[in-house]
Structure formats: structure tokens, C-alpha cells
Amino acid sequence: MKKKLRITLISGILILIAWLSSVLGFSQYYFDYFMIIAAVVAGYQVALNAYNTLKRKVMSIDLLVTIAAVGALFIGEYWEAAAVTFLFTFGSYLEARTMGKTRNAIFELMEMAPKKASVKRDGKEVEVAADEVKVGETVIVRPGEKIPVDGKVINGSSEVNQASITGESIPVEKTKKDEVFSGTINGKGYLEIEAEKTGQDTTFSKIIDLVEEAQEEKAPTEKMMEKFSKYYTPGIIVLAVVTYLITFDIRLALTLLVIGCPGALVISTPISIVSGIGNAAKNGVLIKGGKHLEKAGKTDVVVFDKTGTLTQGEPEVTDLINYDISRDELINLAVRAEKNSEHHLGKAILALVDNVDQFKAPEKFNSVTGKGVTAVIDGEQILIGNQKLLNENDIEIPAGVIEDKNKFNKKGKTAVFVTRNKKVIGILAIADPPRQKAAATIKKLKEQGIKKTIMLTGDEEKIAKTIAEELDLDEYQAGLLPKEKVQAINELQAQGNNVAMVGDGINDAPSLAAADIGIAMGVAGTDAAIETADIALMADNIGKLPFALGLSKSTSRNIKQNIVFAILVVGFLLAGVLGKKVFLASGMMVHELSVLLVTLNAMRLLRYKSENLKAKVSKA
């Protein structure tokens, strides 16, 4: 690379000297002399490459350029020869530099790969290469170190930055039994990890493989362009020979050779795809290839699974009513009563406070299956449960309280009563609420031009309706079996829609496969989901969806711009050369400029940003 730059510089200076001598009125001899040296300096490596590849019976652009330059020297067009070789070398240097930028996204990812690991072997701690750790071994990770394997925490706790996997740099709390990933960075704690996957098998390594495969997979338009250029180049050579035989205009024939490689056209598609997919990967979005990218860019209907996609998938206390008691006191009693509960509704109640440990356990605790819990706290009897539990215990429920409860039920929420010494003191409404960023995501999708957002769920009508209204979805269908979800998607497609389906990638694999684009969310660690999806969002963050679809759309548009521009350039050059308006130097100039412009246009995709959507904080 440096050599290329040096050659370009020397030849450029020689050309400058030649022009200077001409301007200063020195004899033509000097001008010609310096131009010839400039052409030889810049053209030597080109000719050598042409010769090396010709030996292997491969025809290269270098060969066409060499013929053109040598031909120009023969007919005495020294300036043209110098200009062609100089521009060609300089152009390929600039192209390589800019092309390299589009590859950087993946190199930056690779740099995050762990290199060393500290492992416990025979009771001693030894340092080994990260890919030499064996499955089942205990790995020690100190504060600030990179986690070298995929595995489970067996000792210690810490906050881990998982940006290399999920694209999100907010640290995630990890304690015993939690899953950690290779390539993520340990915070301030000490961790001991049991290795489950190492080396090439880690999620991190798979991501890099997938991204590379995706970038190498040829999009349909790319294949078309390659076919075109396969015939174009020999076609131009034949045209050059024929032109010479008919017109005996050697300058015209040589110029044709210079424009023989439609460089901008050939790179128009792959360069945009590499930029787009690379940027996506850096932000925790895996797009499985150019084909999927082009399809995703055409999406006009987005279909969502409900549980775990639009909602968190974990029940939460969404509303709370207190009767003749303070809110804090009610929460205090409810949390203490449920302290030892294993039930998922009980866990939702415990989640009302951050510091469960500081709440004293009840003196007595009993869980009544299907009904609730009974407890004794500070000598008082506390019940948390449904109407059956209260009836069993002869507790009277005032009409007003029943009315409150019914309001919640209408919204599809589960309402539980809290009583103290046979008197109702509160109602807790529990539901699986929408994700904090779900509403903002739907809104953003509509701004991006998505025509319809639809929720398909197996849940009952009431629950579906509440969520759909809260999130401002266009449509919803409730009570569906997995098979019926697939049918619903097929119907949307039959109406001529391009359908993207968003789900967790496991339960809804059939719907993801049925849709034009299957998007799986929160897939870090679940290989099956990563593999089935066309687009995988590594983080469990629905807010990445507008970024994924928006970037796809921008990339498709970018490809189209590049192709249209490149075709115009090819047409313009051909017309210009045949019309004798464009000659060797100017032809090469336009050619190199067009390649550079296409590359720069694609590079804009590297700057497409993942917007941080506003989270809606839930009530309770």
C-alpha cells in the first residue's frame, strides 16, 4: 500500500515537472522525457502484474491498461501515457483505502475477540490461549478482563459489558448461574466461569462467521452485474480491435481499452452490502445476506408475536389500589407475605421493591394452590389471592371493590385481593405489560413508512385488545394456534404485502419461516434462533427493529443509486469515446472518479445510526 502511494507520488511529481518545463518554455524534449519516465514509473508495477497473471492465462485490467499505455507511447502521446498510468495507480490506491474502511466494521468486531484465558488446572491457575480452554474447565476472570469463553458463572458476581455481542454498552448484572459470552468485558467484580463453548464454537465466533458469510453471499443484483461485466469487457476489446481495423484510429482503439472494465458497476452492489451488514453487526443486528437485506428493505407489513416480543414475557404489577391504608404500607405487607413464594404472580409482587432481602419474612406462610397465599405478619392475618381464597376464609368483598376488580379483568389483567384480618385493604392488578420501548418502536416504524403493524397471539381477546390499544397497533388477532399464525401471514402475503415477522425465534419458528423476512429477537446464546432467522437482533431489545429495517431500506436505496450512476457512467464514457470527446487521460479520470464516488456513497451507510428510542416507564 505504501509502495503504491510512493509510486503515485513520484510519477505525479514527474508529470508536474514536465508541465512546468513546458510552461517555462523549455524545449519539448524535456516535456516528453519527463512524461515517459512518469509513465514508466507508474506503469512498471501494472505491467508486471499484467505479465504475472497473463502467465497464468488470466486476463486482468492491468493488461488492458498496459496495452493502452504502451500504445500511447508508441504513437507519441507521452502525456496521455503518463496520465493513464498515474491515474490508474492513484485510483486503485484511493479505492483500496476507501474499500478498507467498509471492512473496518468487521475488523473492529474481530479485535474484540479474547486472546488469553486464566484456567484452573490441577488446583493451580495457568494462563492459556483462549481457544485452548477445554469445555468444563473453570475460567477465572478478574475485573476489567475480557471473558474468554461462553459459559455459566459458578462463583462471584459482576456487571458485564456485552456490546460485542448485543451492540448495547449498558452493563448487564451477572451472578451465579447466569450465562456469559466470550468477547464481553467484565466490570468491577471477580468471576469464575464454567466453560461451555470455546474457541470457534462461541457465540462471538459464530457471529463473525455469519457476518462474513452474509457479506460474501451474492445478492441477485450483484450476480446480474457480474454477468454483465463478464461480457462487457471482452466485448469492448473486440470493439477496440474492430474500430482500429475500420478507422485505423489507434488512439480511439486504445481509449476503448481504458474504459473496458466497468469498475463502478461491478462494485456497486457488494460495496453497499458490506457497509450495511458491517454497520448492522456492530450494532448487534445480524443480517444474513444481501438477499435478505434487499427483501427487508421492501417490508410494508410488520407482524409481531406478543409474549416476549411486544411484552416482556414476565408478569408485573401494573396497577395497585389501596383501601384505608397507605400505598407503602400495602406494598410492605404484600411483599412480606409473598417473601417465600415461588409462584410467578408472587414474584411479580416481590418485584415491586428492589431490596426484598430487607423485608422480614412472615411468622407463618402457606401457599394455597390455584388460590393464593395466607400469612401471619406481626400477629395479623394477611391473605393475598383470588375471590375463591377470600370466600373460603369468609371474607366479605364490598361491591365497590368487586367493581374495581372487574375493571382490571376487562383489560385482561389478573386482579388479586390483599386482606388484613378479614378486611380487604387492596387490589393488585398483574399483567404482562408491553416492553418499555414497544410503543416508541411502533411509532417509529410508521414514520419509516411501514403500512401496517399487526399482532398475532395465542392469548385471549381481552389481553390482546388491551396491548394493541396501548401500543397503537393497526390490527390484532387473538387466540391463534401456531398453525393459524402461519395462515394469517400467508393471507397477508396473498394480498401482495411484503411481511416481516418478529418473534423470539424458538416458539414461533414456523411463522418466522413463513414470512418474507423472519426477525428473531434476543437471540444471544440461542444458536437455533440465530440460524432460523433472516435477521437476528442479538439484544433482547425491540428498539433495534426500526434500525434494522431502516438500514435495510437505506442499503437497498444505496445499491439502486450506485447502479443507476454506474450505468450512466458506462453509457457516457462509451458515447464520449466513440464521439471522440473523451480520450485516454480523461477516460481513465472519469472511470476512477466513478468508482470512488460509488465507494463514498456506500460508505454513508457506515454512519447510519441506531437511534436510542425513548422508554416508557410503567406505572405501578
Nearer to other proteins, 276 or 518 (CB): 276
Query: Can residue 67 be called a binding residue for other proteins (CB under 8 A)?
Result: no
Instruction: From 279, 290, 315, 310, select the one nearest 217 (Cα to Cα).
Output: 290
Minimum CB–partner distance for residue 135 and other proteins (Å): 21
Provide the mask over 2-41, with x wherever binding to other proteins is found by CB under 8 A and - wherever it is not: ----------------------------------------
Of residues 222 through 251, those in contact with other proteins by CB under 8 A are: 226
- The grid coordinates of residue 469 equal 390499544
Neighbours of 9 (CB within 10 A): 14
Catalytic residue at 305? yes
C-alpha cell belonging to residue 107: 475488523
Q: Considering the complex, what minimum distance in angstroms separates the CB of residue 1 from other proteins?
A: 6
Site for other proteins in 191-220 (CB under 8 A): 212, 215-216
Q: Taking CB under 8 A as the rule, which mask of x and - marks residues 285-324 in contact with other proteins?
A: ----------------------------------------
Does residue 115 belong to the site contacting other proteins (CB under 8 A)? no
Q: In angstroms, what CA-CA distances link 245 with 238, 242, 249, 259, 272?
A: 11, 5, 8, 19, 41
Q: Please, what is the minimum distance in Å from the beta carbon of residue 270 to other proteins?
A: 4
**What is the separation of C-alpha 267 from the centre of its chain, rounded to a whole number of angstroms?**
22
Rounded Cα distance between 385 and 400, Å, is 18
At its nearest, how many Å lie between other proteins and the CB of residue 7? 12
Q: Which of 62, 150, 305, 432 is catalytic?
A: 305
Q: Which of 267, 377, 473, 537 binds other proteins (CB under 8 A)?
A: 267
Give the nearest distance from C-beta 482 to other proteins in angstroms. Answer: 37
Residue closer to other proteins, measured from CB, 213 or 329: 213
One of 67, 271, 333, 438 touching other proteins (CB under 8 A): 271
Question: For every residue of 216-244, which 3-state class applies, written as one string?
Answer: HCCCHHHHHHHHHHHHHHHHHHHHHHHHH
Residue written as cell 514536465?
Answer: 18
108 vs 460, beta carbon nearer other proteins:
108
What is the DSSP pairing of strand 191-197 with strand 172-174?
unpaired
- First-last CA distance in the chain: 62
CA torsion through residues 140, 146, 148, 154, sign: positive
Phi and psi of 301, rounded to 5°? -130, 130
**Closest CB 213 distance from other proteins, rounded Å:** 9
Binding span for other proteins by CB under 8 A among 271-279, 315-323, 501-509, 556-564: 271-279
Query: In the complex with other proteins, which residue's Cβ is closer, 271 or 375?
Result: 271
The kind and range of the H/E element at 374 are strand 372-377
The yes or no reply on residue 49 touching other proteins (CB under 8 A) is: yes
CB of 535 to other proteins, least distance (A): 19
DSSP assignment string, 144-162: TPBP-SEEEEEE--EEEE-
Q: Which of residues 93-112 bind other proteins (CB under 8 A)?
A: 93, 95-97, 99-100, 103, 106, 110
* Sign, Cα dihedral of 540, 500, 545, 451: negative
Bridge partners (DSSP) listed for residue 555: none
Q: Binding to other proteins by residue 53, rule CB under 8 A?
A: yes
Cross-strand pairs, 574: none
Identify the residue among 147, 165, 261, 438 touching other proteins (CB under 8 A): 261
Q: Give how many residues touch other proteins by CB under 8 A.
A: 34
Under DSSP, the state recorded for 522 is S
| Partner residues linked to 285 by β-bridges | 537
Residues 499-558 that bind other proteins (CB under 8 A): none
With CB under 8 A as the contact rule, the residue among 45, 118, 393, 526 that binds other proteins is 45
- Is residue 54 a contact point for other proteins (CB under 8 A)? no
Could you tell me the smallest distance in angstroms from the CB atom of residue 102 to other proteins? 9
Q: How far apart are CA 500 and CA 534, in angstroms?
A: 10
Q: Does 270 bind other proteins (CB under 8 A)?
A: yes
Residues 269, 219 contacting (CB under 8 angstroms): yes
What are residue 147's phi and psi, to 5 degrees?
A: -80, 125
Contact 577, 204 (CB under 8 A): no
Q: Is residue 92 involved in binding other proteins (CB under 8 A)?
A: yes
* Residues that are catalytic: 305
> Which residues of the shown chain bind other proteins in the complex (CB under 8 A)?
1, 45, 48-49, 52-53, 56, 58, 60-61, 91-93, 95-97, 99-100, 103, 106, 110, 212, 215-216, 226, 261, 263, 266-267, 270-271, 273-274, 595
